[in-house]
Amino acid sequence: MSVPQEKLKILLIEPDEEVRSLLVENLRLKGYHVFLAIDEETALARTRDGCERPDLILLNQVGKTIDEYMEMGIRIRENAQVSVLTPIVVIAEKYGIELEGSDIKVGENKYVTYPEDAEQLMNLLDRLCNPS
């Protein structure tokens, strides 16, 4: 896996402190700059008027539907005043064995990942942040 040429910025929306710490550690080890939010309100405050401009928005689905999280990602992307080409990735919370290990494109620059392991997520982010 390649490491980003420059530190690309990922906005991580993750309410669980333990999961958040693990994701941040893995993302930083891969060379990404990570800024955090625990919920939509915090993310909107961090990105208001383009204050923080993420290269990718990563949301962990907890307690809401994938569609609700995708809509949240769109609102955050608009609030940050970044391009509609900025990828949004939702990490699925619960899924069947048939989906495990898959990454599904659900719209233009919108993805849902059903990770089998952390490396799968890192590979998807690498592909989205460093297109060949």
Edge-to-edge, what's the strand order for the sheet holding 110-114? 33-37, 9-13, 56-60, 88-91, 110-114, 102-107
Give the C-alpha distances (Å, rounded to integers) separating 107 from 85, 110, 122. Answer: 11, 5, 20
Q: Where are the domains of the chain?
A: 9-129
Residues in the chain: 132
CATH of the domain spanning 9-129: 3.40.50.2300
Please identify which residue in the block is written with the tokens 């592909």: 127
Indicate the average pLDDT of the chain.
88
Summarised one tens digit per residue, pLDDT across range 54-100 is 999 999 988 888 899 999 999 999 999 999 999 999 998 777 777 88
pTM of the model: 0.89
